[in-house]
Structure 1
């Protein structure tokens, strides 16, 4: 499948590498098929979650651990069923990150922001995902200082 991205141009992605979000993502419900892409030749720190349906829809994502965060939360039975999850080792979690524009950001928010209250949860074996919206702080977040 060929996907287009303003960031990387056109890329050929094998169909078995497409991740389906059956319910879409909040605000982007019409986009259900995505590919994780990154710059070749470098160890990826941040991936682009690029919509296969709309080249204008893409999100920078990274595992929370890359930011020094351990994020733990519980999936509902419905979420587990939607992901067709049978083995916890097949789970991957990512958070959407974005750079703050220095001209419009205050000093406290300048730099990089990450959405820990709506992580992406992906069954890597089934290639199914969802965005887990956490309505209130009912999960555990542990920050680690990088050495």
Structure 2
């Protein structure tokens, strides 16, 4: 399958590697199929791009929480667990959507959305965005190595 991304140009995407978000993402409900692109950039490994298949102009920079030294735990509802069909915890990936701060003096230069992580069952390629209405999860900052 070929995607013409305004950001990345022409991309060949393996249909078997698509990730399905049955409910879409909040604000992007029409985007239900994505591919995860790994990016080699100077800010370090583990940064990727979640590229929409239906709307190639939509792409999100993403990273695993431990890229920021975070230990991140939260509970899924029964409906969320049923949607993801999780059978093994090691099949679950958690990604944070990143946003670049504008302006030359912005601190920090990149922010991660901790209140709406992406949860993906990599075994069956199904995901959702877990919107956390209040801080009821544990977030632990680890010292930098």
| TM-score with structure 2 setting the length | 0.92
**Deviation of the 1:41 alpha carbon:** 9.7
Q: Deviations over 1:8-49 (max 9, x none)?
A: 211111111000000000000000000001346997431010
After TM superposition, where is structure 1 displaced by more than 6 Å over at least 4 residues in a row? 40-43
Instruction: Determine if contact 1:4/1:52 at 8 Å carries over to the other structure.
Output: no
Deviations along 1:103-127, one digit per CA (max 9) or x if unpaired, are 5x6x5x4411000000000000000
**Which residue of structure 2 aligns with residue 19 of structure 1?**
19
Q: Which of 101, 123, 126 is the equivalent residue of 2:124?
A: 126
RMSD value over aligned CA atoms?
1.9
Q: Which runs of 5+ in 1 are unaligned?
A: none
Cα distance in 1 between the residues matched to 2:45 and 2:37: 9
Separation in structure 1 between the aligned mates of residue 38 and residue 123 of structure 2, nearest angstrom: 20
SS in 2 for 1:74: coil
1:54-82, Cα deviation, whole Å (9 max, x unpaired): 01111000000011111100011100000
Gaps of 5+ in 2: none
How high is the TM-score relative to the length of structure 1?
Answer: 0.91
Cα drift, residue 130 of structure 1: 0.1
Paired position in structure 2 for 1:115: 113
- 2:139 is matched with which residue? 141
1:6 — aligned with what? 6
Aligned equivalents of 2:97 and 2:57: distance in 1?
Answer: 16
C-alpha distance in 2 between matches for 1:78 and 1:85: 11
Q: Give the paired residue count.
A: 144
Aligned residues of 1:6 and 1:56 also touching (Cα < 8 A): yes
CA contact (8 A) 1:2 1:10 kept: yes
